[in-house]
C-alpha cells in the first residue's frame, strides 16, 4: 500500500523543523514512496516476477550561501536525527556559492492541479501473466520469430516536496508499461526490434495481441538488409527516433548548459534556429500526460512554454541556481521538460514519403553521437530505402551525420503527432544529411 500524503508530510515537517533548530537558515526536503511490480516472460514462459517498495528522503540544507544535500531510505526518527545533523555539519564545511538559494516565494506553486495522473487499479500477477501470455503468443505467430522477451510493469508513487518557506505539496502518479522484444531470423540475417506501451491508466495501454504483432512485424521487415553507398540524401526519421532529436534540443537549451557555455545554442534567444514552420512546446498540464506536473522539482509552478515559435528560440529551460547565473528567473524547468513536442507539420505521412524520389527511412540509431557543445551529430543507423514513396528493402551498417545548426533549418514535419511518450514528435524529414555506407 502506497504511503499517504499525511505520513509523508509529517516526515517532511520533522526534517525541516530539526534542520532549523540545528542552524539551517533554509532547507528543502523530498519524501517519496514508490512501489513497482514487474513480470518478465521469455519465449512464452514466465522468466521472473519481482516487487520493490522504495521509501526515501532527500534533504538539502542551507547556511547562508552554503549548501549540501543528503539522502536515505531509513525514515526512522533515530536515523533522521543523525542524517540531519550530518547534513548541517557538511553544510558548515562547504564553500559558499553566491547563487545558492531556495526558489523565489512568488514563483512557488499555489495549487496542485488534478491532471488525472493516478489510477488506483491494482493488476494482480495472474492478470499480468495472462496479458504477457497473449502478447507472446501473438509475437511468436510467425515462424521467422525465433526469440521473444516481454515484460509488464506497474508503478505507483506518491511524494511530498516541502521547504522552509512554507511550501508543502505533492501528488500521486501511476504508470502501466508493457514491452515486447522479438528476434527474427532468415537465411541471410538475424534482426531484433521492439514495441512498448506506457500510460498512466491501465485501460489506455495497447492490447496485448496488438503489441506482440507490431513487435514481430517490425522485426521481420528488417530481415535480409542490404548495404548502400555513401551519399548526401534526405532522411525520414520514424517518430520514436525523431523524438530523440527533440531530446537533444532540450539538453542544448537547459540553463546548466547555457550558463556553463557548453551549448551551441548559447546566446540564441530570439534568433531563428529552425525554419518558419517549426513550433516546439513544453506543456505540463496535459491530462494523463506522462510528463505532466503542477510544479518542478523545486516547487516552482509550471506553465506552458512555447520554446520555439515560427522557428525562433524564445526560452531556455531555467531552474533557480542556473537562472541566477544567467540573471533570469526560474520558469519551472528544474529537472527538465514536462510534455515536450513539435507541433504538427502540414503534410501527411504518405505525402512526406512521396515528397522525394529517393530517401532513407531511419528506424534505429546506434551510439550516442550528439555533441551539444559543437552541434555535431553522427550515429550508426538502420532503416529502409524508399523510392517513389515505396519501402524497397531494409538497410544497415550506415552512419548518418550532420550538424544540428543545419539540421534544425532543414526539418519538415508530418501531421501525425501522437502523445505516446513524455517527449513526442511527428514523423520528421531532414534534408541534405550525409550518409556513409559501404
pLDDT of residue 36: 97
pLDDT computed for residue 33 by the predictor: 98
State the CATH number of the domain containing residue 28: 3.30.2290.10
CB neighbours of 209 closer than 8 A, spacing ≥ 6?
Answer: 134, 135, 137, 138
- 44-51 contacts, C-beta under 8 A, 24 or more apart: 44/133, 44/136, 44/137, 44/140, 44/148, 46/129, 47/149, 49/125
Same domain, 367 and 431: yes
Nine cell digits for residue 275: 525554419
Which residue did the predictor score with more confidence, 265 or 432?
Answer: 265
| Residue-wise DSSP of 236-297 | EE-HHHHHHHHHHHHHHTBHHHHHHT--TTTT-TTSB-S-TT--EEE-TT-TT-TT--SB-T
46: CB partners within 8 A, 6+ apart: 39, 40, 129
Domain that residue 263 falls in: 231-436
Q: Is 226 among the domain residues?
A: no
CB atoms within 10 A of CB 100: 20
Cell 551539444 -> residue: 372
One domain for residues 386 and 268: yes
Same domain, 311 and 330: yes
Please say if the pLDDT value at position 200 is more than 90: yes
Say if residue 201 is in the same domain as residue 267. no
> The C-alpha cell of 139 is what?
509475437
CA gap 356, 433 in Å, rounded: 14
* Residues 251, 242, 227, 146, CA torsion sign: positive
Q: Does position 409 have pLDDT exceeding 90, yes or no?
A: yes
CA distance 295 to 149: 37
Last residue of a domain, one of 220, 246, 266: 220
- Do 186 and 319 lie in one domain? The reply is no
- Could you tell me if 173 and 28 lie in one domain? yes
> 214-273, pLDDT tens digit by residue?
999 999 999 999 999 999 999 999 999 999 999 999 999 999 999 999 999 999 999 999
307 SS3 class? strand
Instruction: Give residue 95's pLDDT.
Output: 97
Distance between CA 118 and CA 172 in Å, rounded? 6
pLDDT above 80 for 15: yes
Query: Taking a C-beta distance cutoff of 8 angstroms, is the pair 202, 123 a contact?
Result: yes
**pLDDT (tens digit, 9 = 90+) per residue, 312-370?**
999 999 999 999 999 999 999 999 999 999 999 999 999 999 999 999 999 999 988 89
Query: In whole angstroms, what is the distance from residue 246 CA to residue 341 CA?
Result: 7
pLDDT at 437 over 90: no
pLDDT, position 140 = 96
For residues 200 and 235, state if they share a domain: no
Residues 307 and 398 in one domain: yes
> Residue 313 in 3-state DSSP?
strand
Q: Is the dihedral of CA 13, 17, 22, 23 positive or negative?
A: positive
Integer CA distances (angstroms), 423 to 337, 381, 408, in order: 8, 21, 17
Both 299 and 210 in a single domain? no
Q: What is the rounded distance in angstroms from the CA atom of residue 262 to the CA atom of residue 276?
A: 26
Q: Which residues contact 294 (CB under 8 A, 6 or more apart)?
A: 109, 111, 112, 113, 115, 169, 171, 284, 285, 301, 302
Q: Are residues 163 and 239 in the same domain?
A: no
Residue 225, domain member (yes or no): no
Q: Which grid coordinates belong to 212?
A: 506482440
CA distances 101 to 168, 275, 335, Å, are 17, 38, 16
Residue that finishes a domain, picked among 165, 189, 220:
220
Give percent of the chain with pLDDT exceeding 70: 100
Average of per-residue pLDDT values in the chain: 96
In the predicted model, is pLDDT for residue 116 greater than 80? Answer: yes
The pLDDT score that the predictor gives to residue 438 is 73
| Interval 270-298: pLDDT, tens | 999 999 999 999 999 999 999 999 999 99
pLDDT at 430 over 90: yes
- Whether 386 has a pLDDT exceeding 80, the answer reads yes
Spatial strand order of the sheet with 312-313 comes to 312-313, 305-309, 280-282, 340-342, 423-424
**Residue 150 sits in the same domain as residue 299:** no
Q: Nine-digit cell at 252?
A: 542544448
pLDDT digits (tens, 9 = 90+) for 19-60: 999 999 999 999 999 999 999 999 999 999 999 999 999 999
125 within domain boundaries: yes
The count of structural domains within the chain is 2
Q: What angle do CA 305, 308, 311 make, to 5 degrees?
A: 165
pLDDT of residue 1: 85
- C-alpha torsion angle, residues 210, 216, 217, 218 (rounded to 10): 110
Note whether 71 and 197 are same-domain residues: yes
Identify the domain boundary among 175, 198, 220. 220
Amino acid at each position: 500500500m502506497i504511503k499517504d500524503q499525511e505520513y509523508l508530510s509529517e516526515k517532511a515537517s520533522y526534517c525541516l523543523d530539526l534542520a532549523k533548530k540545528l542552524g539551517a537558515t533554509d532547507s528543502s526536503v523530498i519524501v517519496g514512496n514508490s512501489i513497482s511490480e514487474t513480470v518478465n516472460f521469455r519465449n512464452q514462459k514466465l522468466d521472473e516476477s519481482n516487487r520493490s517498495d522504495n521509501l526515501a528522503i532527500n534533504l538539502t540544507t542551507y547556511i547562508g550561501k552554503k549548501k549540501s544535500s543528503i539522502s536515505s531510505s531509513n525514515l526512522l526518527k533515530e536515523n533522521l536525527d543523525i542524517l540531519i545533523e550530518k547534513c548541517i555539519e557538511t553544510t558548515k564545511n562547504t564553500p559558499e556559492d553566491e547563487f545558492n538559494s531556495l526558489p523565489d516565494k512568488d514563483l512557488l506553486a499555489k495549487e496542485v492541479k488534478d491532471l488525472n495522473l493516478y489510477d488506483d487499479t491494482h493488476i494482480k500477477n495472474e492478470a499480468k501473466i495472462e496479458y504477457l501470455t497473449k502478447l507472446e503468443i501473438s509475437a511468436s505467430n510467425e515462424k521467422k520469430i525465433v526469440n521473444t522477451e516481454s515484460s509488464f510493469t506497474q508503478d505507483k508513487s506518491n511524494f511530498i516536496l516541502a521547504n522552509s518557506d512554507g511550501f508543502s505539496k505533492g501528488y500521486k502518479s501511476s504508470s502501466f508499461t508493457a514491452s515486447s522484444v522479438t528476434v527474427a531470423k532468415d537465411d541471410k540475417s538475424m534482426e531484433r526490434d521492439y514495441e512498448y506501451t506506457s500510460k498512466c491508466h491501465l485501460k489506455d495501454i495497447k492490447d496485448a495481441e496488438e503489441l506482440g504483432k507490431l513487435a514481430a512485424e517490425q522485426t521481420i521487415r528488417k530481415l535480409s538488409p542490404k548495404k548502400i553507398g555513401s551519399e548526401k540524401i534526405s532522411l525520414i526519421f520514424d517518430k520514436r527516433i525523431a523524438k530523440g532529436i527533440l531530446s537533444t534540443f532540450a539538453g542544448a537549451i537547459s540553463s546548466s548548459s547555457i550558463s556553463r557555455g557548453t551549448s551551441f545554442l548559447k546566446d540564441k534567444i530570439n534568433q531563428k534556429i529552425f525554419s518558419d514552420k517549426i513550433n516546439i512546446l513544453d506543456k505540463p498540464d496535459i491530462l494523463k500526460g506522462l510528463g505532466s506536473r503542477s510544479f518542478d522539482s523545486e516547487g516552482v509552478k509550471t506553465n506552458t512554454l512555447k520554446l520555439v515559435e515560427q522557428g525562433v528560440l524564445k526560452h531556455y529551460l531555467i531552474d533557480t541556481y542556473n537562472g541566477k547565473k544567467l540573471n533570469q528567473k526560474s520558469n519551472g524547468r528544474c529537472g527538465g521538460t514536462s510534455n515536450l513536442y513539435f507541433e504538427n507539420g502540414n503534410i501527411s505521412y504518405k505525402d512526406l514519403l512521396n515528397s522525394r524520389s529517393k530517401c532513407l527511412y531511419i528506424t534505429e540509431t546506434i551510439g550516442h553521437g550528439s555533441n551539444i557543445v559543437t552541434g555535431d551529430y553522427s550515429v550508426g543507423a538502420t532503416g529502409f530505402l524508399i523510392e517513389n514513396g515505396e519501402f524497397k528493402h531494409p538497410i544497415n551498417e550506415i552512419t548518418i551525420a550532420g550538424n544540428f545548426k543545419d539540421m534544425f533549418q532543414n526539418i519538415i514535419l508530418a501531421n501525425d503527432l501522437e502523445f505516446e511518450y513524455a517527449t513526442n514528435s511527428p514523423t520528421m524529414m531532414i534534408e541534405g544529411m550525409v550518409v556513409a555506407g559501404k
